[in-house]
Chain A
Amino acid sequence: MPTKKLIVISPQEINEKDKTFCLSFPLLPFPLAFFIRETGFLSPLVLRKEKAKGYQIVLGFKRMAALKKTKRIPAFVFSGKELPNKKAILLSFYENLSERRFNEIEKSIAIEKLRSLAKITDEKLIKFFLPLLGLPRNKDYLKNYLRLGKLEEAAKKAVAQREISVEVGIILAGLCLLERKLFFSLIKRLRLNQNKARIIIALLEEIGRREEKSIALLLREKPVQSPQDFPTLRNYLLTRRYPEFKAYEKRFFGLVKGLKLPSKIKIIPPPFFEEDRLKVNLEIKEHKELKEILSYLNSAFQKKEFGEILSMF
């Protein structure tokens, strides 16, 4: 960077709304007043003077937010020629990187801005910049983190503040606007982690395909809205996704219930009813118990329900 003289500038002159080089999210003001009082020191802002845009902030967004009410702010000012977009965003990136850890949304913002303002190729982003951000050198990470930029403010905040995981954020980002809003509220309400969110969204996608309905439409349905926990919602969606299988399973367990067996005897169907035999689990501690169980089984085998169970295989 060329050597520049320090100047003082009125905060009103600075175009605070221009966030071209801002990599902080959410932009929370730093407790600077306290810091200045304690240390008597304030590092200057770095600004770029553009004819059309006024003074753009390159470094110091948080300081600016905290010092709005002061009369004068120290700053280094560059022209657009001295500090073109590429240099400015790289300066912002490295400065921020040296001072703190980026949250997941900030990583997404940084990648997007390095790509659009510094025109850094995807190959270089993957090879060089992703590791700087603590991400693996993988094109899927690049794609997913770029996708996070699509999220609305509320979802971005939730990811940045770790209310929802970055993986859930990526799932959300893969949806369209309306679906995102509806699914985001579902995620928050049922506190879905990555795996649970993935299960629900996969089921919704497949139900949507089968029934020719959009995910948004499904998410608005009362049976999808009403469950208060993940297992209830999952079970409802599974029954809708696999109606014949779930009806068969229900019939099987209904018949087993009809046998009125004690809890020490369990009749277990083969996985997906694919094999032609079922398992009977017995739980015993002593000889007497076995006798008792065998007597239960003997009477159960006489019941019509048992015949029906066997005919299901």
Chain B
Amino acid sequence: MEKFGPEEIFIEKSVLNSTLAGSVIKKFSRAKISEVATIKNYLKETPAVSIDRAKKRLFIARKKGGFIKPCPGTPRYLCCNYYILDLGFGCFYDCCYCYLQVYSNFPGIILYANLDDFFQAVEQFLKRNPSLFYRLGTGEFTDSLAFENIYSYARELIPFFAHKKIMLELKTKSDYVDNLLDLAHGGRSVISWSLNPPLIIKNEEKGSVPLDRRLKAARTCIQAGYPVGFHFDPIITYPGWEEDYRWTVEEIFRYVSAESIVWISLGTLRFPPALKDIIARRFPGTKIIYAEFITGLDGKRRYFKPKRIEIYQKMVSWIKEIAPKVPLYLCMESQDVWKKVFGFSPGNPREVERIFFGIKD
């Protein structure tokens, strides 16, 4: 499902008159639309639904707090000092490895309608932290651009951040960038794509946009002056992975120039143990969960460390061969893995952040 088409829509009473709700009602007139007092109350009264059904339900809600939060990272591995702007939860793409599947109380896709409260929260956040430069993203619990055909969060967010001392990252597996092209972004918004070889996109990232369209969209954004980023996360091994990932790395630079890339992150497949059974049940054809995983220091299942080091070293060498100056970082990895891959290790999350392009405090 490349485009979102909810079958059931639930709108909280308090945001019934919001622009988002209006747009959704207009766009999906055939869906069953219900008004609910609050999602919380609704969930108390109704039984849980399957993930497949949840992906066809949309909740429009008011976020009451926790607009900005530090990326939860993972215990005992190095984080990158990232902040999350929590604009929604859930996604209609069906990536087999998606960790959101472990949330058993996930009732459907939630989009928040009170954007003004988010903006206020950002202003307050900046007041509290005036001296530092932050990175903030909306793509942690949802896809930043996948819902652009319903309502353009990007058209609200990008101009707002254009003059802020904060870097907004919109991370996606889509190619909905048309809404972004005429915006005054001030170089403060990074549009980034999760990347994987076509075989993984086809088999494990159901409903998402193919690689060439993601890269074409990146090129379009660069032409509109946006900095772009890429995330090889999760990197998934399988027989022939080296050839496919190397090809994918080369493919990036066939579409975009190295100078426009502000960062490329690398992270190997990892998941909480509970996700394994869910993946096995929901995606019986997948083999990705039967690789050699060990239990990491955070309790998550990860590839065996020497394997991860080998993966990162290869990926880094392929990228550096073409683009030696592109900033690279590892997502949720230990310091010794950093050392073995890059020859150095940041001492703390703030130091990880310094790796990125011209961040000036």
Partners in one complex: yes
Residues on A facing B (Cβ under 8 Å): 206, 209-210, 241-245, 248, 271-276, 313
Question: Quick one: which of B287, B305, B334 contacts A209, CB cutoff 8 A?
Answer: B287
User: Contact between A209 and B290 (Cβ–Cβ < 8 Å)?
Assistant: yes
B297 within 8 Å of A (CB atoms): yes
Question: Quick one: which of A206, A271, A273 contacts B306, CB cutoff 8 A?
Answer: A273
Q: Which residues of B contact A206 (CB under 8 A)?
A: 290
B43 within 8 Å of A (CB atoms): no
Given known contacts A274-B296, A313-B336, is B304 in contact with A244 (CB within 8 Å)? yes
Given known contacts A272-B304, A273-B305, is B287 in contact with A245 (CB within 8 Å)? no
User: Contact between B304 and A273 (Cβ–Cβ < 8 Å)?
Assistant: yes
Residues on B facing A (Cβ under 8 Å): 287, 290-292, 294-297, 302, 304-307, 334-336
User: Contact between A274 and B294 (Cβ–Cβ < 8 Å)?
Assistant: yes
User: Contact between B295 and A242 (Cβ–Cβ < 8 Å)?
Assistant: no
Q: Which residues of A contact B336 (CB under 8 A)?
A: 276, 313
Residue of B nearest to A276 (CB): B336
User: Contact between B295 and A272 (Cβ–Cβ < 8 Å)?
Assistant: yes
Can you list the 9 inter-chain pairs with the closest CB atoms, starting with the nearest? Answer: A272-B294, A276-B336, A209-B290, A210-B290, A245-B304, A242-B292, A206-B290, A244-B292, A245-B292
CA distance A245 to B306 in the complex (A): 9
Q: Which residues of B contact A245 (CB under 8 A)?
A: 292, 294, 304
User: Contact between A244 and B287 (Cβ–Cβ < 8 Å)?
Assistant: no
Given known contacts A242-B292, A245-B294, A271-B295, is B304 in contact with A210 (CB within 8 Å)? no
CA distance A70 to B88 in the complex (A): 80
CA distance A275 to B294 in the complex (A): 12
User: Contact between B294 and A243 (Cβ–Cβ < 8 Å)?
Assistant: no
* Contacts A/B (CB < 8 Å), 6 sampled: A242-B304, A245-B292, A272-B296, A273-B294, A273-B305, A275-B334
Chain B at the A interface: SS class: mixed
- List 20 extra interface pairs beyond A244-B306, A274-B302, CB under 8 A: A210-B287, A210-B290, A241-B292, A242-B304, A244-B292, A245-B294, A245-B304, A248-B304, A272-B295, A273-B294, A273-B304, A274-B294, A274-B296, A274-B305, A275-B297, A275-B334, A276-B334, A276-B335, A276-B336, A313-B336
Residue of B nearest to A245 (CB): B304
User: Contact between A243 and B292 (Cβ–Cβ < 8 Å)?
Assistant: yes
Residue of A nearest to B296 (CB): A274
CA distance A135 to B16 in the complex (A): 49
Q: Which residues of A contact B307 (CB under 8 A)?
A: 244
Q: Which residues of A contact B304 (CB under 8 A)?
A: 242, 244-245, 248, 272-273
Residue of A nearest to B336 (CB): A276
Q: Which residues of B contact A271 (CB under 8 A)?
A: 295
CB distance from A13 to the nearest CB of B (A): 53
CA distance A274 to B335 in the complex (A): 11
CB distance from A204 to the nearest CB of B (A): 12
Residue of A nearest to B290 (CB): A209
CA distance A243 to B306 in the complex (A): 13
Question: Quick one: which of A209, A244, A274 contacts B297, CB cutoff 8 A?
Answer: A274
CB distance from B346 to the nearest CB of A (A): 15
CA distance A242 to B304 in the complex (A): 10
Q: Which residues of A contact B290 (CB under 8 A)?
A: 206, 209-210
Residue of B nearest to A312 (CB): B306
Give the interface centre of A273, A276, A313 by most chain B CB atoms within 10 Å. A276
CA distance A244 to B335 in the complex (A): 22
CA distance A275 to B334 in the complex (A): 9
CB distance from A182 to the nearest CB of B (A): 21
CB distance from B164 to the nearest CB of A (A): 39
Q: Which residues of A contact B296 (CB under 8 A)?
A: 272, 274
Residue of B nearest to A275 (CB): B297
CA distance A206 to B301 in the complex (A): 15
CA distance A302 to B310 in the complex (A): 29
CB distance from A233 to the nearest CB of B (A): 20
CA distance A209 to B288 in the complex (A): 10
CB distance from B10 to the nearest CB of A (A): 28
CA distance A244 to B310 in the complex (A): 12
Q: Which residues of A contact B292 (CB under 8 A)?
A: 241-245
Q: Which residues of A contact B335 (CB under 8 A)?
A: 276
Residue of A nearest to B304 (CB): A245
Residue of B nearest to A242 (CB): B292
Residue of B nearest to A243 (CB): B292
Give the interface centre of B290, B291, B336 by most chain A CB atoms within 10 Å. B290
CB distance from B47 to the nearest CB of A (A): 14
Q: Which residues of B contact A244 (CB under 8 A)?
A: 292, 304, 306-307
Q: Which residues of A contact B295 (CB under 8 A)?
A: 271-272, 274
Q: Which residues of A contact B297 (CB under 8 A)?
A: 274-275
Q: Which residues of B contact A273 (CB under 8 A)?
A: 294, 304-306
Q: Which residues of B contact A241 (CB under 8 A)?
A: 292
Q: Which residues of B contact A248 (CB under 8 A)?
A: 304, 306
Residue of B nearest to A209 (CB): B290
CB distance from A45 to the nearest CB of B (A): 48
CA distance A244 to B292 in the complex (A): 8
Q: Which residues of A contact B305 (CB under 8 A)?
A: 272-274
CA distance A242 to B290 in the complex (A): 10
